[in-house]
Chain A
Amino acid sequence: MICAGIDAGSRAIKVVLIDDRALTVAGSGIVAQGVHQKELAAELLNQTLKEAGATHHDIRNSVATGYGRNTVALADTTITEITCHARGVHHQQPEARTVIDIGGQDSKLLHLSENGHVRDFAMNDRCAAGTGRFLEVVSEQLEVALIDIGALAAKADAPASISSMCVVFAETEIIGLLAAGESPENIVAGVQASIATRTAAMSGGRVNGPIVFTGGVAMIPGMAEALEVALGDRITIADKPQLTGALGAALLAAEQQ
C-alpha cells in the first residue's frame, strides 16, 4: 500500500507518495499554491498517483501538513510542518540535530534529539524579512530570476547592509541602495546575509550539528553558504529540500495504524 504526504505550503503544494513497508518514495509532485487550495491539492495528488501507476484505492493513509493543511480535505489527518520536517530529515539523515527550514512565508529552526523527535523549535513571526518572500521581492526589483540570485551574489565584493526588519521597508532600502549606485551583486549578497542572520538569531546561540537545510529557499544557490557564515557551522542541504515536509508527512502517515 501507499501512504501520502501533502504539504500545502504558502507558495507551493507538494505531494510525496511512499511505499508504506519499504518506506521508499513511489512518486512526488509540486504545484504552485493558489486561491483554490483544496482543488489544487486534489489535482496534484491525482496527477502524482497517476504518474506512480496508482489510484486512491492504493492509499492506506494520508497526512496533510503546511500552512494550508486544514484546507486539504482529502487527507486523513493533519500534522504541523515542524514535526513533518523533522521526520523527513531524520529519515534522510538520522545524525541531524538541527533543521533549518526556510519557506516562502516563514522560517523555522528545529532542534532534534537522537530519536529524531523535535526537542524545541523557533519560528519567525514578525515579517517576511527572514523568508523566501524577501528573495522574491529582490529578484523582482533587480529583474533577476530567482534561480540566478546565487550566481549574482557570488560576484559581490562588499555585501550591502540591509538593516530593515520588514520586507516593505527593506524594499525601500534596496531602492535607495540602487539609487546610490550599489551593485545588484552586493545588494543580493546583502539580502542573503540578512535572511541568514535573522535565521541564525532564532537559534538563541544554541545550534548543534549536523545542520540540515530544508524548504524551497534551500534550493537557491548561495543561501546555504550565507547560513554557514551566520551560524559558523557547516550546513547540508536536504535531498530535494522542497519535498522534505511532504516526505515527513508521508512517513508519519505510514507510522500511523
Chain B
Amino acid sequence: MHSQSQLSLAEWDERYAELKRLGLQEPSYGGPISRHVAEGDLRLRRLKYDPSWAALNLWNFLLTEEDRLRTARQRGSKIVGTMKDLGTIPVMAYSLPNLVAFYPDGAWWIPCVMELSAGLLKVADDLGIDDSFCPVRAMLGAFVTEAHFPRPDLLVCSVGAVCDDFSAIAQRLPGLGHAVHWWEIPHRREPDKDEKAVALPGGAEAPSAQVDFVRGELEGVRTQLETLAESTLDDTALSAGIAMANRIRRSLRELRHLVFTAPSSPLPALELLVAEMLAIHFCSDRRETLRVLQDLLTEVRSRIESQEDEPDDGRIRVFWVNPVADLRAMNLFEACGGRLAGTDFLFAHALDEIPEDLAPLDALARTALADPMVGSGQQRAERICRDAQTFGAEAVLISRIPGASHCALESSLIADTVSRELDLPVVEIEVPPLCDAMLPTLQTRMEALVEVARARRKP
C-alpha cells in the first residue's frame, strides 16, 4: 500500500542521496525536494511524498516553473499569462514558436506552499481584496511583488460565466500596467428545441450559436497571440498543438484510470492532484510535461503489476470534488483511510480530449464551453455522479475553499445530487490555505466519511 511507504522530506533526502549513489540520472531541474524549502517553500516540510523517482521529477518540475519562465525570457521568448480558462488558451499559445504560457491563477497556492511568508495575501488586503474573496487574490499580490513569475508580455483572461471573485481581481491588473486581452465565455445553456445542438467534450451540449460565438472570441485571441509572436498561427500549427495537448490529456486519462481502479492505490492523492494540474498550462514546458507524466505512468503500471494476486487495500474509495488550498489535506485524507476513486478539481474539461476531427478553433471553442464552471452546477453534479459511478466510488468528499463563492454555492447542490442519484455518503469540508489548526476538525469529517462508507460494506 503506497501510504505506508510515503516519505517525509527528511526521508526523501536520505533516499535521494541513496539514489544518487546508485547513479540517478536527473533532468536539469533535478535535486532533492528539500532544496525548495531554502527557496521559501516551507510547506514542503509538512507533506508526505511518494517515494518514486518519477514523483521526485514531478515535484521538481512543478517547483521550478519560475526558473523556466525566466530562462525563456532570457532566451527571447514571449511570455503569456493565460488566466481563468483553465486549459484552452495555453493550447493555442504553445502552438506558436517563441511563446511560453503560464497560469498566474496558480499563485493561489503560494500562501500555502510558502506558509504565508511571501505576504501575498497581505498585499491583496492592502488593495482592498480581503479574505472575503477567494485565495486566488494571492495572484494580485504576486503581480504587485513580481517575485514569483516574470512580468508577462501579455495576459489573456476569460470573463463572463467565470468566477466573480476572479474577475474582480483580474480587473485590477490593467491598473498595474498589464496588457490584458479579455475574451468572453458565455454561460453554457441547454439548446432550445429549435436550435442546433453541438456535442461538447465530456458529454454536455451547447447551442451551435454559442460555439460560434466562442470561436469568434478565440479568433480574437489568435490575433493577439500572432501579434505577440510575430508569427502566423494557422490551422496546421493549431492542429499540431491540439494533437500534442491530447497526448498529454491521454496520458492523464490513463494515469487517472489506473489510479482510480487499481485494487490498491498505486499513487498518492497528493501526487495525482499535482499531475492533474499539469493539464492546465503544462507547467511552462509542454514536452517535459509529457515526459514527467509518462514516467509516472510507467511507475504506476509497474506498481499495479506487482500488486497482482494481492488483496484490495481495503481503503474507502472516495470521489474528490474541488482542489484544496492546503496540500496537506490530501495527505490527511489517506491517513484517515481514504483513497481516490475519481476527481473533479474544477477543470474536468482540461482532461477531456480536444476533438481532432474538427476545425481546430471550433474544437477549442467546444472545449472551452465544456468548462464545468461555465455550465450549470447541476450539469457539473451530474457529471460527478457519472464519473463516481464509473470509478466505483463509495463516498464523495466536497472540499470548499474559504471565500471562493463558486465552491460554496455548488457544494450543496452537488451533495444533494450525489445523495439522491447515487445514495452515497457525502461530506463537505472547508480547507483554508493553512489548515493546521483545522486538522482535528478535518480529520473527524474524513474519518467519519470513511467509517460510514465502511459500515455500508457490511451485509
Contact = CB atoms under 8 A, between A and B. Distances in A.
A157 to B, nearest CB: 35
Given A67-B444, A125-B429, A125-B430, A117 B452 contact: yes
A47 interface: no
A104 to B, nearest CB: 14
Contacts of B458: 117
Contacts of A119: 425, 452
A121 B452 contact: yes
Contacts of B441: 67, 106, 125
**Which of B426, B447, B456 gathers the greatest number of chain A CB atoms within 10 Å?**
B447
Interface string A98-131: 0000000010000000000111111101100000
B409 interface: no
B444 A204 contact: no
B243 interface: no
Contacts of B443: 70
B448 interface: yes
Given A67-B444, A80-B447, A118 B452 contact: yes
A81 B455 contact: no
B67 interface: no
B419 A121 contact: no
A82 interface: yes
Given A67-B440, A70-B440, A117 B429 contact: no
B11 interface: no
Contacts of B452: 82-83, 117-121
A79 interface: yes
A83 B444 contact: no
B425 A120 contact: yes
Nearest to A120: B425
Nearest to B459: A115
B451 A204 contact: no
| A contact residues, range | 10 to 19
Contact of B428 (A70, A81, A106, A125): A125
Interface residues of B, number: 22
Interface string B93-112: 00000000000000000000
B2 interface: no
Contacts, number: 53
Contact of B451 (A79, A125, A126): A79
B455 A83 contact: yes
Interface string A70-101: 10000000011111000000000000000000
Nearest to B400: A125
B427 interface: yes
Contacts of A106: 441
Interface string B378-416: 000000000000000000000000000000000010011
A68 B443 CA distance: 11
B148 interface: no
Contacts of A125: 428-430, 441, 445
Interface string B423-440: 001111110000000001
Nearest to A67: B440
B444 A81 contact: yes
Contacts of A121: 425, 427, 448, 452
Contacts of B444: 67, 80-82, 123
A82 B455 CA distance: 12
Contacts of A70: 440, 443
Contacts of B415: 204
Nearest to A66: B444
Given A67-B440, A204-B412, A117 B456 contact: yes
A161 B451 CA distance: 38
A67 B455 CA distance: 21
A84 to B, nearest CB: 10
Contacts of A126: 430
Nearest to B420: A206
A82 B448 contact: yes
A111 B125 CA distance: 42
A163 B365 CA distance: 45
Given A80-B451, A83-B455, A125-B429, A120 B419 contact: yes
B419 A118 contact: no
Contacts of A123: 427, 444-445
Contacts of B430: 125-126
A125 B431 CA distance: 11
Contacts of A122: 428
Contacts of A82: 444, 448, 451-452
Nearest to B427: A121
Contacts of A79: 451
Interface of B: 412, 415-416, 419, 425-430, 440-441, 443-445, 447-448, 451-452, 455-456, 458
30 contacts: A67-B440, A67-B444, A68-B440, A70-B440, A70-B443, A80-B444, A80-B447, A80-B448, A81-B444, A82-B444, A82-B448, A82-B451, A82-B452, A83-B448, A83-B451, A117-B455, A118-B452, A118-B455, A119-B425, A119-B452, A120-B419, A120-B426, A120-B452, A121-B425, A121-B452, A125-B428, A125-B430, A125-B445, A204-B415, A204-B416
Q: Which 8 A-B pairs have the closest CB atoms?
A: A82-B448, A117-B455, A80-B448, A120-B425, A118-B452, A83-B451, A80-B447, A80-B444
Given A67-B440, A67-B444, 14 more contacts: A68-B440, A70-B443, A79-B451, A82-B448, A83-B448, A83-B451, A117-B455, A117-B456, A118-B425, A119-B425, A119-B452, A120-B425, A120-B452, A204-B416
Interface of A: 67-68, 70, 79-83, 106, 117-123, 125-126, 204
